[in-house]
């Protein structure tokens, strides 16, 4: 078989998602063709898809060294750098590509995505619009543009874009998903019948089918048709479970390692300098009310809500975790050094964001895992722990469609229970050793006693009273990119409390297993 046919086969395997095979076959070809940059690029893409980001960077750099004029290799390198939060390096690459070729569409689109990550929405929109001038009918670019407007709370503009996409391609599942996130089907029937018919008659791949069924389930939930909504949620979760490879033992090992390390640590021996910026970390189980708390606090004139930042997890996982276990010696070395590597890198990443506020909110629910690191390396930080009725939290995780692989445990009810138990155990540990450092907020109390609880919250954060916090749903300051985006722009509503009662018949055996505090 000729080299061209072998390369075509590699590209076909890449498209089919056979990434390990691409790497294996690609390495065989490279033994005899070490001067072919495009082979390194293909292997780099396979590693990128497998989340072997550091390895992908090595391959892309080799490809660029062999073929320095190829903008595709540089684009792929920049995307891997984005995955590691190395935003400045990625931006420099995009600028160089576009300086040479202002009409390079992949660079325009990827640069727009980076600007969206950095919360620079104006430039993100401009870049997407420039790309659309070159490829007017690229539905994915239109979808990304709509998502930027969605993050800004411009739901009408986002909705118009998503609906226009469906006029061009009615079976474009990502547009249906996006519409479902920015609509209340109790007020607007929107695309529900079209989704139901597509799900029934169209032969989608399993992932697309699952996405569609999550959206249909959400629509019926809005309409209070709980018999149909649970049917679609169960179908969607079953399919998604077959597509993910969640390993509970890995999380269990990591949590155990964290407890073993921090229970032996004497924080009185550690002296790290404060950074002038105050970071408010809002943590808890996903879907426990963290977005509402961020929306309330970020309405304050001194505060900027940066959304779910991945900086802390990236830094810790890259430098201090190996095979789901803490590298104790490396942490020990950092504790007693003159620098504060974790804090310095974190604030370095923050400097990339399009904001200069003195108080920043990092609403990463699963940062509850890293509370010990926050206590150790962020002396000026505040930690707010959001709690919610566990049955409601369980249900909200089960019925939502998450993009992050960190949420792969949500597609199996038994794994949700296991993860909740890990969370409960770790939070009891943190509260025992760092009680005064963690401020507990009950979602139900915030909803039922709004002003009283907000005053307490601001007092803990050492912030003056700001009446804007009572009108948080009107604020345009907060960036919301989670599944809560549409609900969080509404006034506080009480219908989410005890929402589990509508699903007791189907999920009672799991609800009974929840360990209440």
CATH, residue 214 = 1.25.40.10
Concatenated DSSP letters for 480-499?
--STTHHHHTSPP-STTTTG
Residue 77 belongs to some domain of the structure: no
3-state secondary structure 166-190: HHHCCCCHHHHHHHHHCCCCCCCCC
Tell me which residue of 406, 391, 398 sits closest to 308, measured CA to CA: 406
CATH number where 298 lies: 3.40.50.300
| The model scores a pTM over 0.85 | yes
Question: In what helix (H) or strand (E) does residue 304 lie, and over which residues does it extend?
Answer: strand 303-305
Question: Mean pLDDT across the stretch 144-157?
Answer: 93
Residues 237 and 257 in one domain: no
Residue that is last in its domain, among 212, 243, 274:
243
**Is 66 in contact with 36 (CB distance < 8 Å)?**
yes
Question: Mean pLDDT across the stretch 142-151?
Answer: 95
Residues 370 and 441 in one domain: yes
Residue 400 belongs to some domain of the structure: yes
Can you give the residue range of the structural domain that contains 411? 248-511
Residues 211 and 296 in one domain: no
Interatomic CA distance for residues 516 and 425, integer angstroms: 12
Interatomic CA distance for residues 226 and 232, integer angstroms: 10
Residues 238 and 304 in one domain: no
Both tokens assigned to 97? 């590509």
pLDDT value of position 492: 65
Provide the mean pLDDT of the chain: 91
Residues 293 and 217 in one domain: no
Number of domains in the chain: 2
Residues 333 and 229 in one domain: no
**Residue at token pair 């609403």:** 363
pLDDT value of position 187: 87
- The length of the chain is 517
Percent of the chain with pLDDT over 70: 94
Interatomic CA distance for residues 268 and 8, integer angstroms: 61
Residues 222 and 347 in one domain: no
Helix %, strand %, coil % of the chain (to 5): 65, 5, 30
Tell me which residue of 297, 269, 288 sits closest to 382, measured CA to CA: 297
Q: pLDDT tens digits, residue range 262-312?
A: 998 876 655 555 566 789 999 999 999 999 999 999 999 999 999 899 899
Residue that is last in its domain, among 243, 258, 275:
243
Question: Mean pLDDT across the stretch 365-386?
Answer: 94
Interatomic CA distance for residues 275 and 379, integer angstroms: 8
Comparing 267 with 50, the larger pLDDT belongs to: 50
Least confident of 89-93, 267-271, 338-342, 401-405: 267-271
Residue that is last in its domain, among 195, 218, 243:
243
Residue 79 belongs to some domain of the structure: no
Helix (H/G/I), strand (E/B), else coil: 53:
helix
Residue 369 belongs to some domain of the structure: yes
Residues 279 and 143 in one domain: no
Residues 232 and 258 in one domain: no
Residue 51 belongs to some domain of the structure: no
Band of pLDDT at residue 517, cut at 50, 70 and 90: very low
Residue 381 belongs to some domain of the structure: yes
Interatomic CA distance for residues 371 and 430, integer angstroms: 7
Cβ contacts of 301 within 8 Å, gap of 6 or more: 466, 468
Residues 264 and 199 in one domain: no
Interatomic CA distance for residues 29 and 113, integer angstroms: 33
Q: pLDDT tens digits, residue range 342-363?
A: 888 898 888 888 777 889 999 9
User: Is a pLDDT exceeding 50 seen at residue 75?
Assistant: yes
Residue 94 belongs to some domain of the structure: no
Comparing 340 with 508, the larger pLDDT belongs to: 508
Helices and strands (DSSP H and E) totals, the chain: 26, 7
Residue 48 belongs to some domain of the structure: no
Residues 385 and 415 in one domain: yes
Question: Mean pLDDT across the stretch 104-130?
Answer: 96
Q: pLDDT tens digits, residue range 175-213?
A: 999 999 989 999 888 899 999 999 999 889 999 999 999
Residue 442 zone, left/alpha/beta (φ > 0; ψ -120 to 50; rest): beta
Q: Are strands 321-322 and 325-326 parallel, antiparallel or unpaired?
A: antiparallel
Band of pLDDT at residue 108, cut at 50, 70 and 90: very high
Residues 259 and 195 in one domain: no
């Amino acid at each position: 078989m000729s080299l061209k046919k072998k390369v075509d086969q590699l590209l076909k395997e890449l498209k089919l998602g056979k990434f390990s095979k691409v790497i294996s076959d690609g390495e065989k070809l490279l033994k005899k063709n070490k001067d072919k940059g495009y082979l390194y690029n293909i292997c780099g893409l396979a590693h990128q898809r497998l989340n072997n980001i550091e390895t992908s960077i090595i391959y892309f750099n080799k490809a660029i060294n062999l073929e320095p004029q190829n903008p595709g290799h540089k684009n792929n390198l920049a995307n891997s750098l984005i995955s590691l939060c190395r935003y400045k390096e990625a931006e420099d690459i995009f600028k160089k590509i576009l300086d040479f070729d202002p009409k390079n569409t992949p660079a325009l689109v990827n640069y727009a995505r980076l600007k969206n990550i950095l919360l620079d929405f104006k430039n993100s929109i401009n870049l997407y619009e420039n790309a659309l001038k070159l490829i007017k009918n690229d539905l994915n670019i239109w979808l990304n543009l709509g998502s930027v407007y969605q993050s800004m709370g411009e739901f009408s503009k986002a909705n118009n874009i998503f609906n226009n996409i469906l006029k061009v391609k009615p079976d474009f599942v990502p547009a249906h998903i996006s519409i479902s996130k920015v609509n209340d089907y109790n007020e607007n029937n929107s695309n529900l019948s079209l989704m139901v018919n597509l799900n029934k008659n169209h032969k989608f791949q399993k992932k697309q089918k699952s996405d569609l069924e999550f959206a249909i389930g959400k629509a019926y939930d809005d309409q209070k048709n709980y018999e149909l909504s649970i049917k679609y949620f169960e179908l969607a979760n079953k399919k998604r479970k077959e597509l993910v490879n969640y390993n509970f033992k890995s999380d269990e090992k990591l949590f155990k390692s964290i407890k073993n390390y921090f229970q032996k640590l004497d924080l009185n021996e550690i002296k790290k300098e404060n950074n002038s910026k105050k970071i408010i970390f809002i943590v808890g189980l996903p879907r426990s009310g963290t977005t509402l708390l961020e929306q309330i606090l970020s309405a304050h004139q001194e505060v900027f809500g940066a959304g779910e930042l991945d900086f802390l997890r990236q830094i810790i996982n890259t430098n201090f975790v190996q095979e789901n276990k803490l590298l104790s010696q490396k942490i020990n070395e950092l504790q007693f050094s003159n620098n504060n590597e974790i804090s310095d890198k974190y604030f370095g990443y923050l400097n990339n964001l399009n904001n200069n506020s003195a108080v920043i909110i990092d609403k990463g629910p699963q940062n509850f895992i890293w509370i010990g690191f926050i206590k150790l390396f962020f002396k000026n930080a505040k930690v707010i722990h959001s709690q919610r009725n566990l049955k409601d939290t369980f249900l909200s995780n089960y019925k939502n469609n998450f993009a992050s692989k960190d949420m792969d445990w949500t597609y199996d009810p038994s794994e949700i229970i296991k993860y909740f138990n890990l969370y409960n155990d770790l939070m009891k540990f943190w509260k025992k050793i760092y009680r005064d450092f963690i401020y507990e907020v009950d979602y139900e109390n915030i909803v039922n006693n709004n002003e009283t609880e907000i005053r307490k919250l601001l007092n803990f954060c050492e912030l003056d009273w700001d009446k804007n916090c009572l009108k948080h749903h009107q604020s345009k300051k907060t960036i919301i990119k989670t599944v809560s985006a549409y609900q969080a722009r509404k006034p506080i509503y009480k219908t989410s409390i005890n929402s589990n009662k509508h699903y007791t018949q189907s999920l009672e055996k799991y609800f009974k297993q929840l360990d209440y505090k």
